[in-house]
Structure formats: structure tokens, C-alpha cells
Amino acid sequence: MMGGMLTIYNDQHALHQGKVEMFRGELVPCFEVPARVDHVKHELERRGLGPLQVPDAFDEALLAKVHAPRYLDFIAHAWDEWVALDPSNASRDALPSYWPTRGMRTDVLPKSFPARMGLFSFDAGTPLMAGSWAAARHGAACAWTAAQRVAGGERAAFALTRPPGHHAGADFFGGYCFVNNAAVAAQALRDAGVERVAVLDVDYHHGNGTQAIFYERGDVHFASLHGDPLTDYPYYLGHADERGAGAGLGFNHNLPLARGTDFATWRAALKAALDGIGAVRAGALVVSLGVDTFEGDPVAGFRLRSDDYLRMGEDLARAGLPTVFVFEGGYAVAEVGVNAVNVLQGFEQQAAG
């Protein structure tokens, strides 16, 4: 196959390997597993799509441009605090049990670890373990490095990492996400001088964290195609009437779609999203590349097939923008590699043509 797509690979991703998550009222084995990235890496190597590198060292202070310092401090030390509560905790993952809701205060940081864990999370499906911070931090380095390569002249680069990132907000984790890699990449492109960056989220689930981070900013346009929040996670964000606020008004574009959506309907929504990105004159594109839109995915509801991901990549290339791909969701593990690499191959073939 034709080469050229640079991949920045998180060689520490397997440090994060959750045992269980809360799913619809019961503890079940985690859907988000290391094999997701392993399959993609294997498929990239099998096709010879391009070089694979580990990330450059980067200054963690950069994370504070998209995440709140008190949140970063919590995530960095959460495991040690969890084990300090009870040494036997070392053998089990940490999951939150309490959350502040309407009328409760979030400005005061509790001393209680379980209370702080609830303050900085929004679901019980995101286990935290000894290696979570190291894996997430290294994933941010992948996104940052990919953005640096694109800012330096690469047509495109792919950050192959887990845990994913698009559900993580400025001060909360959830949806298997701790650090928002797409936001890190977008901010890196802005820092490199790109006047306006577009983030396009094609994961089945709405990128609520990315939207929240940039909702009041006009320098980053966010567009998302996803399952309707009336029926699908993360439920409380992702409606079409969420258009941004303040300086960001008009720079948020949600395209919720019904369960059962086929590729023809999905592709029409992609065109609308890309048209919107063109209208705001974005100078670079970050793609939150989730492939849980696949018809066989166990936690989603669209009907895309493997060949459709080639067409997706072609459509993305036609936007003509320097592009950073950041790996997000996709839980039909055996097919994740083929589907993700199909997007990259389609992009490369179209861009070269």
C-alpha cells in the first residue's frame, strides 16, 4: 500500500488496563481494552501505511491550557491516594461512588478522596488504576507530537493511543477518558500559529469533553456526528441547538443521528460538518477518530461497514486541510484495526491522487 501516514504510537498504553466497569447496573469486564490499539498497530504494520514512532518528550504544563490545574493534580496522584486509603485497594480499580448534582457546591475541594473522585468524574464506567495517569499522559504526548509534525509540514499524522480522550473535560474524566487528546492537539496547532483549528468528532458518542473545553472559544470550531443524546451516551450534551456561547457562538456544530443510521445518511451529515468547517475557514483539522460507528460494535448503534471507512477517509482528505487523527472509540475489537486503518488509507490515497 502507499506510504506516508506518520503514526505516533503510545507504547505505554497497556499500563492502563481496567478490570471492571459499571454498565447498566452491573459490574462487567471493561470494553476499553489494550487489544483495541494492538489491532490497529498490527494492521498499520501489515499494510505498511507509513512510519511508526514514539512521542517526543513534552512539557506537562501544556496540559493546563486545556485542563484545570486542580484536576490534573488529582489525576496525577489519584492512585497513590486510593491505595493510601487501604493497602488492599492496590488489587482493585478505583471507581467513583458519589457525584455533586444541582444545588451542590463544586468550588470547594473536599479532603475526602471518594468525594474528590466524584467531583472530577461523571460516570462509574471509567476505572482508574496504577498506570492510568502514565498512559494518559503519554497519550497526550502522542497527540502533541502528531500536531507538531503537522504544524511542521506533514500533510497528516495519526496519534495511536489509549485511553481515549474526547469525553474528558477541562476538569472531569469519564467515558474511559482522562486527558482530552484531541483538545491537546488542537491547542498545539493554535500555539503553532494556526489561526483557527477545526475538531471533527466522528466517534459514535458525542465528544462532550471537547465541546465543553472549546464552547466559548472562537478559535477552535467543534463539529460532531454522533448518536442522538436522547437515547445514547453521554446523554446530557450533543443536541443540535448547542451552537457555542460568547466568543464561541456559531463555532459548535452538532449533528445527532438516530440509531440504525446507515452510511449514506451518515455521509450526508459528514458533508454538512465539512461544509461548516470550510465556512469558518479553518486552517487545520483534528479528527477524533472513533470507529464505534461500525455495525458490529457492542456499545453503539450505527450501521457502517468496513469499506465505508475508506470512503470516510477520502471525504476527509477532500477537505484539503493539514490533519491530525487521534484514536478514540471502537469496541468490536477484531474489526477495529481494519476499520481505523481503512480511514487512514482512504485519506492517503485521496490526498495522493
Q: Can you read off the three cell numbers belonging to residue 181? A: 487528546
- 167 included as an active-site residue: yes
Q: Can you read off the three cell numbers belonging to residue 258? A: 438516530
Contact yes or no for 268/282 (Cβ under 8 A):
no
- Read off the amino acid at residue 330: G
Q: Which DSSP symbol is given to 174?
A: B
Q: Can you read off the three cell numbers belonging to residue 109? A: 475541594
* List 16, 39, 166, 167, catalytic entry: 167
DSSP string computed for 132-186: HHHHHHHHHHHHHHHHHHHHTT-SEEEEE-SS--TT-BTTBBBTTBSS-HHHHHH
Distance CA 222, CA 212 (A): 10
Task: Give 53: exposed, middle or buried? Use CB within 10 Å, 0-12, 13-18, 19+.
Answer: middle
Tally of CB atoms within 10 A around 217: 20
In the block, residue with C-alpha cell 497527540? 143
DSSP string computed for 216-266: T-SSEEEEEEEE-TTTSTT-SS--TT----GGGTT-EEEEEE-TT--HHHH
Candidates 171, 165, 245; CA nearest to 201 is 165
Strands 284-289 and 197-201: parallel
Candidates 57, 51, 17; CA nearest to 33 is 17
- Read off the amino acid at residue 214: F
Residues in CB range of 22: below 8 A, 6 or more apart: 28, 95, 123, 124, 125
Q: Give the DSSP H/E element, type plus range, for residue 106.
A: none
Q: Can you read off the three cell numbers belonging to residue 69? A: 490545574
Contact yes or no for 161/13 (Cβ under 8 A):
yes
Backbone torsions φ then ψ of 25, nearest 5 degrees: 90, 0
Residues involved in catalysis: 167
